[in-house]
């Protein structure tokens, strides 16, 4: 079966997005063959909270994170990762500061004391 994974999130209402998240959580829970009560216990939330999200109702962000952790699905948060990128000018400055040549060891011996 082919599933459409191209969801236009911007055209969806907040309620529809929450409902999609709940459907995803329910689907993943069932794939893992775990009850709402078991996931709720692992997540440290009430079973009622599991029921709420799976039925498209609002829960707290911390509860959502706990549920995702219990389902071993924290990887869905990968899109929130932010990496600092250097501008081309900053990269050029760093490259310019890099050492271009090695010093000869002979110079180091001349500066050493003969004691």
Q: Give the tens place of pLDDT for each residue, 38-68.
A: 999 999 999 999 999 999 999 999 999 999 9
Q: Count of domains in the chain? A: 1
CB 29 within 8 A of CB 51: no
Calpha distance 27→21 (Å, rounded): 10
18 falls within a domain = yes
pTM: 0.67
Structural domain contains residue 38: yes
Residue 108 lies in a domain: no
pLDDT attached to residue 16: 93
Whichever domain contains 72, its CATH number is: 1.10.260.40
Q: What is the Cα–Cα distance from 67 to 41, expressed in whole angstroms? A: 10
Does residue 2 form part of some domain? Answer: no
Judge whether residue 31 has pLDDT over 70.
Answer: yes
Domain holding 32, by residue range, is 12-78
Separation between Cα atoms, residue 2 and residue 5, nearest integer Å: 9
Cα→Cα distances 68→1, 13, 96, Å: 25, 22, 46
């Amino acid at each position: 079966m082919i599933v459409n994974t191209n969801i236009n999130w911007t055209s969806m209402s907040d309620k529809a997005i929450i409902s999609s998240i709940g459907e995803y959580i329910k689907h993943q829970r069932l794939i893992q063959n775990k009850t709402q009560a078991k996931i709720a216990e692992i997540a440290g939330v009430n079973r009622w909270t599991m029921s709420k999200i799976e039925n498209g109702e609002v829960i707290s962000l911390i509860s959502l994170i706990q549920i995702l952790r219990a389902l071993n699905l924290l990887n869905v948060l990968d899109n929130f990762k932010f990496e600092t990128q250097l501008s081309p000018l900053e990269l050029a400055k760093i490259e310019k500061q890099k050492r271009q040549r090695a010093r000869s060891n002979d110079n180091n011996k001349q500066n050493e004391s003969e004691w």
